[in-house]
Amino acid sequence: MKNLLVLSCLIITLLGCEDKVIEPTTTYVTTPAACPPTNPELKPSPINFDGLDEITNITSTSLRLNWKPREGLQFYYIILIAENDRKIIKTLEAEDSSWKISGLSPDTEYSYLVRSLDTKGYLDQNNNVRTVKTHPWPTYTNRVSLNLNGSQSIQLAPSQQYDLKEVYTASIWFKTNTKSSPSDTRLFTFHKDSKQIASTALSVGFENDTIQVQINGIEIIRGKVVAYADNKWHQIALVVNKRKISLYMDGKKLLKFRAKIPAFGTHPASLGSLTGIRKAFIGHIDEFSLFTKDFSPSEIKELFKNGDTFDLKSHSQAKYLLHWYRLGDSRFDSIKNIEDIITGLNGAPGGITESDFSTDVP
C-alpha cells in the first residue's frame, strides 16, 4: 500500500510539471550614430563665379556666350541644357571669356549654363541658365555679288579649320571677261603649310584659255580648255571623294581624274587669289559653299539649277552644307567682314570697298 502511494505521487508530480526553458533577457541600447565625415571633393569653389553673363551676336545659326572671368579659375564648362538632359559641349581655358556657338537651327530655343573649375579642382555651383532663340532663316534673295579688280581677295580661316575630311563638294559662281594671262589666277585656294608659307593643297582657277585644278603645289595640274571669259555667269563645282576628283562647270563634267590631296595646313584659305593678292582673280564671284558630301551628277545639276542661284537650305543634300559665303547678301557682310552663315568661319576682305559690292548677280 505504501509503495502504491509513492508511485501515485510520482505520476502526479510528473504530469503536473511544465517542460519550460528560461531564456536570458537581452537589453538593446540605442546610441546616436557617428556623423560621416564631410567629403571635401563635394565642397564648392570659394571663388564667386557668376556664370553666364550675356548672349550676343545672335543669328539664324550662331550666337556668342559671354562671362566675366575670375582670378583663380582653371577651366570653364559650356553646358547645353535640354529637356530632361544636359551635356558639356565645350571646355575652355581660364583666359577665355566668350565662345561662339555655330551650326544651330534657325528659329529654335537653346539654354546654356557656364560652370567653372578652380585651380584646386573645386567646381562652382551657379545655376545661371540663360535661354535664347535663334533668328528665323531669312527669306532668300540674291541681290549682291563681289567684283574683284585683281588686287583684292577674301582671306578665310586657316585651311585646316575647313574640316572637309576626304569627301566634299565645293561650289562657286563667277563672271569675267578677262583671260588669266600671262599668269594664272585663282577662284579659291586651300593651303597645306604653315601660317607663314603659302603652298597649295587644293585650288581652282584659270590660265590662258584653261580652267584648272591644282593640287599639292604645282605637282598636279589638270585643265580643260573652255570659253570661261565670256562675261557671263558660270558655276564651278569641285567634287572630291578621297582620290577621285571631278570638276563641273554649269552642271556639266569637265574633268575627272585621280590624285592625292595633301592635308590642309594652318595658312589661311583664300577666295579670289592664291593668298593675299597673289594670282588674284579679275571679275565677279558669288555664293561660295562647301558640303561634306561628294555630289552625284544629278545633285550637281540640282545645285546649278539651270543657272539660277537659290536657297541652299532647300537642296536635297542641305544637311551636308557646312560653309556658305553669300558675298554681300548676309546682313553681316561689309568691307571688314564676309560672313559664313552656317558655321561662322568668317572671312576678312582685303582691299574691298563699298563700290565692289555689285548688283550684277547670277
Euclidean distance between CA atoms 198 and 200, whole angstroms: 7
Euclidean distance between CA atoms 238 and 255, whole angstroms: 9
- Give 26-75 pLDDT, tens digit per residue: 554 454 555 555 666 668 889 999 999 999 989 888 899 999 999 999 99
Q: Angle at CA 229, nearest 5°, toward 226 and 234?
A: 75
Q: Note the CATH number of domain 42-133.
A: 2.60.40.10
Residue 198: pLDDT band by 50, 70, 90 thresholds?
confident
C-alpha cell at 288: 561660295
Q: Collect all residues with Cβ–Cβ distance below 8 Å to 145 and sequence separation of at least 6.
A: 173, 175, 284, 285, 286, 327, 328, 357, 358, 359, 360, 361, 362
- Give 143-181 pLDDT, tens digit per residue: 999 999 999 999 999 999 997 889 999 999 999 999 988
Classify strands 145-149 and 282-291 as parallel, antiparallel or unpaired.
antiparallel
pLDDT, residue 60, reads 87
Which of 48, 43, 88, 95 lies closest to 74, judged by CA?
A: 95
pLDDT, residue 25, reads 55
- Give 2-30 pLDDT, tens digit per residue: 444 443 443 344 344 444 445 555 554 45
- On the question of a common fold for 42-133 and 145-358, the answer reads no
pLDDT, residue 36, reads 54
Domain chopping of the chain, boundaries? 42-133, 145-358
Which of 183, 186, 233, 171 lies closest to 208, judged by CA?
A: 183
CATH architecture of the domain 145-358 equals: Sandwich (2.60)
Residue 41 phi, psi dihedral angles, 5° rounding: -70, -15
Whether residue 353 has pLDDT greater than 90: yes
Q: Which residue has the cell 545672335?
A: 58
For residue 76, CA distances in Å to 90, 94, 116, 221 come to 8, 7, 4, 47
Summarize the confidence of residues 253-257 as an average pLDDT: 96
- Give 272-306 pLDDT, tens digit per residue: 999 999 999 999 999 999 999 999 999 999 999 99
Instruction: Fill in the DSSP letter of residue 23.
Output: P
Which of 258, 259, 276 lies closest to 267, judged by CA?
A: 276
C-alpha cell at 237: 563645282
pTM of the model: 0.77
Whether 267 and 158 have beta carbons less than 8 Å apart is answered as yes
